[in-house]
Amino acid sequence: MESAVYHMPDLTEDLLGSIIFAMEDQVSDYYLDLKDGNLISEEEIRYLDEDEEHEEPLDENRFIPIPDWEPSDGFHLMEMFANRVRNPLYRERLLSCLNSGKGVFRKFKDALSELPVLERKWFSFKDEQLKRVVITWYREQEGALGLLNLKEEVEDLTEEILLEDFTFETHEGYPTSEMDSFVQLILEEMENGREQDAIASLLLGRRFENEMPEHYQLARSQDGSLAALLAYIPLTDALVEVPFFAVKQECRGLGLFRLLFDSFSRQMARFHYRTIIVNLAGSSVSLERLFAPFFAQTASKQMILSTNNWNNNHPSSEEAFL
């Protein structure tokens, strides 16, 4: 019997999901049936062969094995995710679980469950990575047919996930004792950090005490505790300044500040403010790259300079007269 000519079926979202689900099944082996365009287990193929053995034998080219996915692949994926977590506390916690020996999968999942938003990010990351494995496998089997409408890139945590785990509100008036404690906690954390963070803590604390902003955007975790704070001061009818903002340590690296600032900016636009001045200090200076794509311009910079470095590396001005 001449072998039939088979083609890869369209890789629909349903088929993609079925393949990913089957890849993680460590009990059965699955194949893609090129004739029907469905997944079929090895056991089902045997039954099918027995049903048709008195007619025509099954064409072995009709079935192709789906991508292999071993526990070691799952471990590697968890390791990739842990190394990409920007929050140092949770990054080290997850890596510690993975290096603990026996029961690493359970320990990893338990650690993720402590912060639901990070757990959701893990599932999103894992799903997108598995999609990439399947898409690569498809291309190896029969070009890129049917792939044009599929996403290949790993997506960042969606705003929908953050909106499920945090609530946002405004506060008008002097900060409450809860807000003041939150600010002091952040300043103390900076004070105990690098030299530039300690200096930034001194400058921010002095300014916060002298000006005492009366306008705030807040983000709260599911338990009602403060997760992030942004203070702002209207300077003119069109200009508003953000002298201070902070995100609680265990909530960093999740995209929370971006979402909080987006909400703030859109609210300012509704109030007819056209320009926002954002003060960056300490480690938050790195956020300059967050604003750069939106044509942000530098209005001022504060430089930290060692007198020893200047004095030892710059010719003495007195020598200019010698």
Task: Please indicate, yes or no, if residue 320 is contained in any of the structural domains.
Answer: no
Whether residue 267 sits in one domain with residue 170: yes
Task: Please indicate, yes or no, if residue 6 is contained in any of the structural domains.
Answer: no
Whether residue 167 sits in one domain with residue 146: no
Q: How confident is the model at residue 253 (pLDDT cuts 50, 70, 90)?
A: confident
Task: Please indicate, yes or no, if residue 311 is contained in any of the structural domains.
Answer: no
Strand partners, 275: 239
CA distances from 98 to 10, 95, 239, 304 (A): 37, 5, 49, 39
Question: Measured at the alpha carbon of residue 164, what is the angle toward residues 158 and 167, in degrees to the nearest 5?
Answer: 110
Task: Please indicate, yes or no, if residue 307 is contained in any of the structural domains.
Answer: no
Comparing C-alpha atoms, which of 208, 200, 164, 191 is closest to residue 301?
200
Whether residue 165 sits in one domain with residue 152: no
- When pLDDT is averaged across residues 53-73 and rounded to a whole number, the result is 78
CA-CA-CA-CA dihedral for 259, 260, 262, 266, to nearest 10: 140
Query: Are 259 and 224 in contact, with CB atoms under 8 Å apart?
Result: no
pLDDT digits over 298-320, tens only?
887 778 888 888 888 877 665 54
pLDDT of 174 strictly over 80: yes
Whether residue 144 sits in one domain with residue 87: yes
Whether residue 115 sits in one domain with residue 216: no
Counting the structural domains of the chain, the total is 3
Whether residue 169 sits in one domain with residue 203: yes
Residue 51 has what pLDDT? 62
Residue 53 has what pLDDT? 52
Task: Please indicate, yes or no, if residue 273 is contained in any of the structural domains.
Answer: yes
Task: Please indicate, yes or no, if residue 315 is contained in any of the structural domains.
Answer: no
Whether residue 275 sits in one domain with residue 178: yes
Task: Please indicate, yes or no, if residue 134 is contained in any of the structural domains.
Answer: yes
In three state form, how does the secondary structure of the chain look?
Answer: CCCCCCCCCCCCHHHHHHHHHHHCCCCCCEEEECCCCEEEEHHHHHHHHHHHCCCCCCCHHHEEECCCCCHHHHHHHHHHHHHHCCCHHHHHHHHHHHCCCCCHHHHHHHHHHCCHHHHHHHHHHHHHHHHHHHHHHHHHHHCECCCCCCCCCCCCCCHHHHHHHCEEEEEECCCCHHHHHHHHHHHHHHHCCCHHHHHHHHHHHHHHHHHCCCEEEEEECCCCCEEEEEEEEECCCCEEEEEEEEECHHHCCCCHHHHHHHHHHHHHHHCCCCEEEECCCHHHHHHHHHHHHHCCCCCCCCCCCCHHHHHHHCCCHHHHHC
Whether residue 182 sits in one domain with residue 222: yes
Whether residue 128 sits in one domain with residue 108: yes
Q: What mean pLDDT value characterizes the chain?
A: 83
Query: Are 167 and 223 in contact, with CB atoms under 8 Å apart?
Result: no
Whether residue 43 sits in one domain with residue 114: no
Among 124, 157, 190, residue at a domain's last position: 157
pLDDT digits over 86-121, tens only?
888 888 999 999 998 788 889 999 999 988 888 989
Comparing C-alpha atoms, which of 240, 294, 300, 299 is closest to residue 264?
240
Whether residue 165 sits in one domain with residue 99: no
Whether residue 61 sits in one domain with residue 89: no
Task: Please indicate, yes or no, if residue 247 is contained in any of the structural domains.
Answer: yes
Question: In which domain, by residue range, is 29 found?
Answer: 13-65
Residue 155 has what pLDDT? 47
Among 157, 192, 212, residue at a domain's last position: 157
Residue 47 has what pLDDT? 81
Neighbour tally for 299: CB within 10 Å: 9
